[in-house]
Structure 1
Amino acid sequence: MARLLIVHHTPSPNVAAMFEAVVDGATTDEIEGVEVVRKAALAATPTDALQADGYILGTPANLGMMSGALKVFFDTIYYPCLDDTRGRPYGLYVHGNNDTTGAIRGIESIVTGLGWQRVTATVSVTGEPTKEDLEACWNLGATVAASLMA
């Protein structure tokens, strides 16, 4: 069975709503043969990343950057995963109060170094997520999970 690892930092109701929509999409009944593992960014380990076949990353944009928690995840897994996770699919959702550009740029730089392959558009939301934003999050979860179906 394929394993999808959702690594998230969910400190606010807005990011929590996006996270829940992503999980709902990834675990929809149409997705078969994919185990969805949810880990807070500070709890996720290199072993978690190595055992996953794909990834969804979620973070708030703090002061124009990804959360410190997601950065710690990347710092922890980067070298242990560098050679063994190349080519694996990923998706990304980011929430900011007014801008997410720097956070997205930083994350894309790291996953490019890891050799991960984005399989769907990044969901970037500023302010309170709309119904359309949450649908985009659901689609992100479903798309990344579906990319892992045998």
Structure 2
Amino acid sequence: MKQLLIVAHAPSPNTLVLRQAVERGARHPEIESVTCRVKSPLDAGPEDVLACDAILLGTPENLGYMSGALKDFFDRSFHALCDHKQGLPCALYVRAGHDGTGTRRGVESIVTGLGWRWVQAPLILRGEWSEAFIDQAEELGLYMAAGLDNGLF
């Protein structure tokens, strides 16, 4: 079995709905050879990343940047992971009240430093809340799990 790790900060009802949608997609019944672990960035650490085969990150946009919780996860994990998970398939979703540009740039910079590999462009859920965000988040989780399940990455 391969493991998809979802590390997503969900401090509000809407961001929790998004994290649940990503998980629902990743646990689709037709995905046969992938397990899914979901952790808050405050509870996740390098040992979780070392045990996974792909990672999906989620964060709200806070003051034009990633959440402090996701930044804390990277701060605690970066040095332990630097030389150990090169090429790790990854994806990102951002719940952005504005444009998400600074958040995306910040995460991309860290991911580049870790040597992880983007398997999908970051999903930026911009502007006022939309129910369509839920379907987009669920699709992201499904695509990540299906890619692992089918050996695409």
TM above 0.5: yes
Question: Which range moves more in the overlay, 78-87 or 56-65?
Answer: 78-87
Q: Give the structure 2 partner of residue 132 of structure 1.
A: 132
Q: Give the structure 2 partner of residue 45 of structure 1.
A: 45
Q: Please give the alpha-carbon distance, in whole angstroms, between the structure 1 residues aligned to 2:66 and 2:138.
A: 21
Q: Which amino acid aligns with 2:132?
A: E
Secondary structure of the structure 2 residue equivalent to 1:65: coil
Q: State whether residues 21 and 135 of structure 1, in contact with CA within 8 Å, keep that contact through their aligned partners in structure 2.
A: yes
Task: Give the 5 Å matches for 1:1-150.
Answer: 1-149=1-149, 150=151
> How far did 1:143 drift?
1.2
> How far did 1:39 drift?
0.6
| Number of residue pairs the alignment of both structures matches | 150
Gaps of 5+ in 1: none
Q: Which amino acid aligns with 1:54?
A: A
User: So what's the TM-score if we normalise by structure 1?
Assistant: 0.94
Q: Please give the alpha-carbon distance, in whole angstroms, between the structure 2 residues aligned to 1:121 and 1:129.
A: 21
Q: State whether residues 18 and 129 of structure 1, in contact with CA within 8 Å, keep that contact through their aligned partners in structure 2.
A: no
* 1:2-22 C-alpha deviation (Å, 9 max, x unpaired): 111100110012211211111
* 1:8-39 C-alpha deviation (Å, 9 max, x unpaired): 11001221121111111100011111110011
Question: Which range moves more in the overlay, 140-149 or 101-110?
Answer: 140-149
> How far did 1:69 drift?
0.4
Q: State whether residues 99 and 127 of structure 2, in contact with CA within 8 Å, keep that contact through their aligned partners in structure 1.
A: no
Q: Which amino acid aligns with 1:33?
A: S
* 1:74-132 C-alpha deviation (Å, 9 max, x unpaired): 11111111111111111111112223110110001111111111112321113444243
Q: Which amino acid aligns with 1:56?
A: L
Q: Please give the alpha-carbon distance, in whole angstroms, between the structure 2 residues aligned to 1:146 and 1:13.
A: 27
Q: Please give the alpha-carbon distance, in whole angstroms, between the structure 1 residues aligned to 2:61 and 2:41.
A: 14
* 1:44-71 C-alpha deviation (Å, 9 max, x unpaired): 0111111111101000110000001000
User: So what's the TM-score if we normalise by structure 2?
Assistant: 0.92
Distance 1:12 1:128, change over 3 A: farther
